[in-house]
Chains A and B, each alone.
Chain A
Amino acid sequence: MNGMEGFARMRTLQFVVICIFAVLVGRLFYIQLVDDRYEELARSNTLRRVVQYPPRGEVFDRNGEYLVQSRGCYDLMVTYRELDRAGFDTARFCAITGISETKLKRELANARMTPRKPYVVAKYLPKEDKLRFDECNFSGFYTVYRTIREYPRKIGGNVLGYVGEVNENIVKRNPDYRAGDYIGMSGVERSYEQLLKGRKGVKVQEADKHNVIQRSYMNGRFDSLPEPGSYLVSTIDAKLQLLGEELMRGKVGAAVAIDPATGEILMMVSSPTYDPDELLGRERGNNYMRLLRDERHPLFNRAVTSKYPPGSTFKLVQGLIGLQEGVLRPTDRHVCNMGYQAGKLKMACHAHASPLDLRFAVATSCNAYFCYVFRDILENPKYSSVKEGFDMWRRYIESFGFGERLGSDFLDEGTGQVPDRAYYDKRYHGSWNALTVLSLSIGQGEVGCTPLQLANLACIIANRGYYYIPHIVRKIEGCDSLDRRFYERHYTMVDARHFEPIVEGMWRSVHVDGTSKAAYLPDLDVCGKTGTAQNPNGRDHSTFLSFAPKDNPRIAISVYVEHGGFGAATALPIASLLEEYYLTDTIRRPAMLEYVKNMQLPNYAQQH
């Protein structure tokens, strides 16, 4: 091999070297400058977002008393690797934290799976335990601040609702939530979740390969502090609510009181209810399952969801429609001979003077009278047929807020039920008339109302023709006003002047010669209407609709007790005591109070 060839070969080899380095540089160029995927991956390798939980907003009652508070508590965490296993005094640890030894063992075994990662050993450690725990200095264990709900008065479980950990579905739908976050599951907690939850803060930190936090990222430039949730002032009157829950104890049903001038819900009781504290803390899971399995469904807010036949309270609406339609005058008298008879059909009534006019018919709750009224409405010659008349009747009913959601701030509000023409056409194959659906006249049959709708009816009558949508929240921190819909008057299709005879009848029912005499309160001009709704499941439901005072009413109330018998027997005293307490701040009828409190409905114990 001569020198020239050697030189040529050197050049070739230099070329090879250049090529190799060019390939390396080219690849580095691509990885470092072109492909920005790696930067992202590097960030996801190291950055850990540690969530700072804000305290959830409080809820006050209308007088500024706490209904729901947020209390600080602590989650007890462990990092297994840092555990001092030799010097760990299990018995002392359990004594201080109140965790059973078996649970501790189980949780430590779980923690062992991820020895470098923090693991939740126990939740909801109260502050006292935490302080004692801090003194002992168990290595590997530490606490993390969370907040937990607290209910100083232990009332309004169903109204206020409860919070729970988010499930997978919620996390999937709503990116704001992460596993372990709390969310309002029912009642106010659910309706006002966005306001109550506040904003989570975040600490961005750098973690190493073992997920151990090393330092704050960019000196905390991307960190944010948690913002506490807004507080709410509820429309609930805590004292009235407490009394309501006491009175309804031992009964199944609901009671709703509304301030008719504003539509604010003063009290909402669904019975049986539960102690909201039960759905907190370590025993939450067990309690929740027990409540869920309870056959009387304490977690079910009857006041806004259940459909009850309104019974005689519905007669008020029939009277109003009749007056408006011009088929009834207050002075019209009908005969009632222990009931209403049309051909084979007979609608029984109780014994009272006959014939009678509208005022007395309302006061004494005459079935026959309102059968006449109802027939007259449907068979009004103004309309071409009974069915047309029925359509018109239904439109009136809807204007009273029945058969559809009122639009309150309860997300689980029910619609109630008012059958329409198509329903009857289908049921009776097109051939039906006023007599077929006659039971509607006295609030029986296919009609169903929620207790909230009935309370709303009391408001409408108290207001002589309009209502505000009932709502549970009065003021929100940082907001000047509520949703606009709560400030709008919703007028019914009945003129104000037609309400006077009905109100008169309700007043007479209490004061003169009616079914509601026990609801009399001196100087308060209580107006009331009892209802006794037959039902296929057993004893009649007892209901009472009332407002007071007659002029410038301050409270409208509806009480519904399942299987309570006569309206005057069960629902009336409850409503009357609540009115008395709300309007006078005292109860001067201890006997009635005792009677109601001790009243155990026979079928409460052995519910279907």
Chain B
Amino acid sequence: MHSSIDRNTRLFKGVDLLAVLLYAAIVIAGCVSITSASYDDTTGSGFFSLSHFYMKQAVWVSIACTMAIVVLLLDERFYHMLAYPAYAVGLVMLVAALLFGREVNGAKAWFEFGSFRMQPVEFAKIATALALARVMSAYTFSIDRAGDLFKVALVICLPLGIIILQNDTGSGIVLGSFLFVLYREGLNKWLCVPVLLIATLFIISFLLTPMTLLVLSIVVCTLCEAMINHHWRASIIYLASLALASIVCYAALVVFAPGTADFYRTLLVVTILSLIGVAIYAYRVNLNNIYLIIGLFVGMLIFFPTTDYIFNSILKEHQQNRIKSFLGIISDPRGIDYNVNQSKIAIGSGGFTGKGFMEGTQIRYGFVPEHHTDFIFCTVGEEWGFLGTIFVLSLFCLLIFRLMRMGERQEEPFGRIYCYCVASILLFHVLVNVGMTIGLVPVMGIPLPLMSYGGSSLIAFTILIFIAIRLDAATKQFSPNKFRP
């Protein structure tokens, strides 16, 4: 056992070296890719001129390293203490960006200081992760309690709402990845299903008829309820009676008021009426989670009719088009699909070993848009081939595993939850960013962590990861090798 004074004198004692190495490897891979993507020998300025993106990125990397040391220097209790103030500052920054920020690519989510632009949402992610960890690590917190779940939902949805108002939906959805954390913390898995369903249906709801959506949500919600409470019989009886009642009502309408009969509406009304019965039942058998399911279901009922509206009115045309092109509804390789198409060409033409450093034609000649920021992965794919992409993905995968493991060996729930938050944010970013470059995910303006060019993103991810490393270092300091699976 070392004393805390000892730790302060020996700064990096207990720091997880593997995580730092993985971090460094990814940052270096990013710098190499940015160099290759942005080196332009026609400008006439020298290789080390600051007009190049890679030189700017080098400056950002040094700033990020400084930030990492600062983060490691601070006491771990400081972050616990800082969680709520940071959250408050994050929210204020988001609102400020919404009110006074600058619009880039349709999203009013940027602050601009001279030539330097920053996106407060990058830092809001850290604040939200800290706040979430703080809320869920409270001694009285129980994930099965509806009130506590509501708190969690509030912590996540407040920044999410503001971000969506900023019209930066892509970044907002990142916060949805905290479902990953909630699951680890014991959220009933059958509650995850309707949530994931909502997320999926949000994207494809306008493809389905309202009738399909309604039946789908009734069945899924009822079955999830059955899985949670093991009320299989009751659920099947409920479904059957619901169907029977709707058919009887529909038949009655056909007989007594021909012309007004509409099975969808009948089913809807019958279902809503039945919810009263379900609620009374839940009250009598004292099953609180039924209220959650009812809440989710009602949420869906309200939500689905509005998705069309959201899709057509709130989403900008380019966002609609991205989703449509992703779903294959429209195909326009020169227009809407251009980005993804060119990105796929760049990655696909890399082959097994790639074209070599600085030899990637698609990147160098500007066919891939945003090739040093959001589409940096194309450079890896084109110049280093399958080997390169595998290498980079393995680095990310290992880092995520390392973060999860760091979370598991924490003594305090605060640290565990935070580490999981970081892992989930990283996972989501990698999935969406890499997925979008290879046409698996609709295009969203989400950077590849630590690799994409951009100071605010790099610094934010550095802080995010190094707080986790700091928390982990503290744990190891006091109880090494506590975690034994």
Question: A10 near B: Cβ within 8 Å?
Answer: yes
Whether A45 contacts B440 by the Cβ 8 Å rule is no
How far, in whole Å, are A393 and B349 apart by their CA atoms in the complex?
Answer: 74
Whether A32 contacts B351 by the Cβ 8 Å rule is yes
Interface set, chain A 95-115, CB cutoff 8 A to B: none
Interface set, chain B 424-469, CB cutoff 8 A to A: 427, 430-431, 434-435, 438-440
| Beta-carbon nearest neighbor of B360 in chain A | A42
Tell which of B148-156, B386-394, B472-480 binds the partner.
Answer: B386-394
Whether A9 contacts B186 by the Cβ 8 Å rule is yes
Whether A28 contacts B351 by the Cβ 8 Å rule is no
Chain B 297-325: CB-based contact to A (< 8 A → 1; otherwise 0): 00000000000000000000000000000
Chain A 36-78: CB-based contact to B (< 8 A → 1; otherwise 0): 0111011101100000000000000000000000000000000
The 10 sampled A-B contact pairs (Cβ below 8 Å) are A1-B185, A17-B401, A27-B439, A28-B389, A28-B393, A32-B347, A32-B381, A32-B385, A206-B365, A209-B366
Tell which of A18-26, A407-415, A460-468 binds the partner.
Answer: A18-26
How far, in whole Å, are A27 and B344 apart by their CA atoms in the complex?
Answer: 11
Question: B346 near A: Cβ within 8 Å?
Answer: yes
How far, in whole Å, are A209 and B362 apart by their CA atoms in the complex?
Answer: 8
Whether B404 contacts A14 by the Cβ 8 Å rule is yes
Whether A32 contacts B352 by the Cβ 8 Å rule is yes
| Chain B residues positioned under 8 Å from A37 (CB to CB) | 348
How far, in whole Å, are A43 and B385 apart by their CA atoms in the complex?
Answer: 16
Whether A32 contacts B389 by the Cβ 8 Å rule is yes
| Beta-carbon nearest neighbor of A43 in chain B | B349
How far, in whole Å, are A43 and B346 apart by their CA atoms in the complex?
Answer: 10
| Chain B residues positioned under 8 Å from A523 (CB to CB) | none
How far, in whole Å, are A33 and B347 apart by their CA atoms in the complex?
Answer: 10
CB distance from B89 to the nearest CB of A (A): 30
| Chain B residues positioned under 8 Å from A209 (CB to CB) | 365-367
CB distance from A223 to the nearest CB of B (A): 17
Whether A9 contacts B184 by the Cβ 8 Å rule is yes
| Beta-carbon nearest neighbor of A12 in chain B | B183
Question: A536 near B: Cβ within 8 Å?
Answer: no
Whether B393 contacts A33 by the Cβ 8 Å rule is no
How far, in whole Å, are A206 and B227 apart by their CA atoms in the complex?
Answer: 61
CB distance from B82 to the nearest CB of A (A): 26
Question: B350 near A: Cβ within 8 Å?
Answer: yes
| Chain A residues positioned under 8 Å from B346 (CB to CB) | 42
Whether A21 contacts B397 by the Cβ 8 Å rule is yes
Whether A17 contacts B427 by the Cβ 8 Å rule is yes
Whether B186 contacts A5 by the Cβ 8 Å rule is yes
Question: A423 near B: Cβ within 8 Å?
Answer: no
| Beta-carbon nearest neighbor of B485 in chain A | A7
How far, in whole Å, are A5 and B185 apart by their CA atoms in the complex?
Answer: 10
Whether B386 contacts A10 by the Cβ 8 Å rule is no
CB distance from A47 to the nearest CB of B (A): 9
Q: A6-B184, A13-B404 are in contact. Are A45 and B361 (CB under 8 A)?
A: yes
Chain B 351-380: CB-based contact to A (< 8 A → 1; otherwise 0): 110000000011011110000000000000
Question: B206 near A: Cβ within 8 Å?
Answer: no
Whether A13 contacts B184 by the Cβ 8 Å rule is yes
Whether B348 contacts A24 by the Cβ 8 Å rule is no
Interface set, chain B 398-444, CB cutoff 8 A to A: 400-401, 404, 408, 423, 427, 430-431, 434-435, 438-440
CB distance from B161 to the nearest CB of A (A): 27
Whether A208 contacts B366 by the Cβ 8 Å rule is yes
Q: Which 10 A-B pairs have the closest CB atoms?
A: A38-B348, A208-B365, A42-B349, A1-B186, A209-B366, A31-B348, A46-B361, A32-B386, A41-B345, A39-B349
Question: B245 near A: Cβ within 8 Å?
Answer: no
| Chain A residues positioned under 8 Å from B84 (CB to CB) | none
How far, in whole Å, are A210 and B367 apart by their CA atoms in the complex?
Answer: 9
Question: B180 near A: Cβ within 8 Å?
Answer: yes
How far, in whole Å, are A23 and B430 apart by their CA atoms in the complex?
Answer: 12
- Known: A13-B184, A28-B386, A39-B349; 7 extra A-B contacts, CB below 8 A, are A9-B183, A10-B404, A27-B440, A29-B386, A42-B361, A46-B367, A209-B365
CB distance from A204 to the nearest CB of B (A): 12
Whether A42 contacts B348 by the Cβ 8 Å rule is yes
How far, in whole Å, are A17 and B405 apart by their CA atoms in the complex?
Answer: 13
Whether B390 contacts A27 by the Cβ 8 Å rule is no
Query: Does more than half of chain A's interface fall in helix, strand or loop, or is it mixed?
Result: helix
Question: B55 near A: Cβ within 8 Å?
Answer: no
Question: B223 near A: Cβ within 8 Å?
Answer: no
Residue of B361, B381, B389, B397 with highest tally of chain A CB at under 10 A? B361
Question: B143 near A: Cβ within 8 Å?
Answer: yes
CB distance from A29 to the nearest CB of B (A): 7
| Chain A residues positioned under 8 Å from B435 (CB to CB) | 24, 27
Chain B 327-352: CB-based contact to A (< 8 A → 1; otherwise 0): 00000000000000010111111111
CB distance from A475 to the nearest CB of B (A): 48
How far, in whole Å, are A210 and B366 apart by their CA atoms in the complex?
Answer: 8
| Chain B residues positioned under 8 Å from A17 (CB to CB) | 397, 400-401, 404, 423, 427
Query: Does more than half of chain B's interface fall in helix, strand or loop, or is it mixed?
Result: helix
CB distance from B101 to the nearest CB of A (A): 30
| Chain A residues positioned under 8 Å from B386 (CB to CB) | 28-29, 32-33
CB distance from B404 to the nearest CB of A (A): 6
| Beta-carbon nearest neighbor of B333 in chain A | A41
Interface set, chain A 204-236, CB cutoff 8 A to B: 206-210, 214
Q: A1-B185, A13-B183, A25-B390 are in contact. Are A20 and B431 (CB under 8 A)?
A: yes
| Chain B residues positioned under 8 Å from A23 (CB to CB) | 440
Question: A283 near B: Cβ within 8 Å?
Answer: no
Q: A1-B143, A14-B404, A29-B386 are in contact. Are A207 and B349 (CB under 8 A)?
A: no
How far, in whole Å, are A509 and B124 apart by their CA atoms in the complex?
Answer: 115
| Chain B residues positioned under 8 Å from A9 (CB to CB) | 183-184, 186
How far, in whole Å, are A5 and B348 apart by their CA atoms in the complex?
Answer: 42
| Beta-carbon nearest neighbor of B434 in chain A | A24
Partner of B348, one of A10, A13, A32, A207: A32
| Beta-carbon nearest neighbor of A209 in chain B | B366
| Chain B residues positioned under 8 Å from A16 (CB to CB) | 180
CB distance from A206 to the nearest CB of B (A): 6
Partner of A45, one of B345, B427, B430: B345
CB distance from A1 to the nearest CB of B (A): 4
Residue of B364, B365, B381 with highest tally of chain A CB at under 10 A? B365
Interface set, chain A 131-183, CB cutoff 8 A to B: none
| Beta-carbon nearest neighbor of A211 in chain B | B365
CB distance from B84 to the nearest CB of A (A): 24
| Chain B residues positioned under 8 Å from A5 (CB to CB) | 186
Question: A35 near B: Cβ within 8 Å?
Answer: yes
Whether B362 contacts A46 by the Cβ 8 Å rule is yes
| Beta-carbon nearest neighbor of B386 in chain A | A32
| Chain B residues positioned under 8 Å from A10 (CB to CB) | 184, 404, 408
Whether A31 contacts B351 by the Cβ 8 Å rule is no
| Chain B residues positioned under 8 Å from A45 (CB to CB) | 342, 345, 361-362, 365, 367
Interface set, chain A 234-249, CB cutoff 8 A to B: none
| Chain A residues positioned under 8 Å from B350 (CB to CB) | 32
How far, in whole Å, are A38 and B347 apart by their CA atoms in the complex?
Answer: 8
| Beta-carbon nearest neighbor of B341 in chain A | A41
| Chain A residues positioned under 8 Å from B430 (CB to CB) | 24
Residue of A12, A45, A210 with highest tally of chain B CB at under 10 A? A45
| Beta-carbon nearest neighbor of B342 in chain A | A45
CB distance from B232 to the nearest CB of A (A): 22
How far, in whole Å, are A559 and B285 apart by their CA atoms in the complex?
Answer: 121
Partner of A31, one of B183, B342, B438, B485: B438
How far, in whole Å, are A467 and B135 apart by their CA atoms in the complex?
Answer: 111
CB distance from B346 to the nearest CB of A (A): 7
Whether B345 contacts A38 by the Cβ 8 Å rule is yes
| Chain B residues positioned under 8 Å from A41 (CB to CB) | 345, 348-349
CB distance from A49 to the nearest CB of B (A): 15
| Chain B residues positioned under 8 Å from A46 (CB to CB) | 361-362, 365, 367
| Chain A residues positioned under 8 Å from B366 (CB to CB) | 208-210
| Beta-carbon nearest neighbor of B424 in chain A | A13
How far, in whole Å, are A178 and B381 apart by their CA atoms in the complex?
Answer: 35
CB distance from A62 to the nearest CB of B (A): 54
Chain A 420-432: CB-based contact to B (< 8 A → 1; otherwise 0): 0000000000000
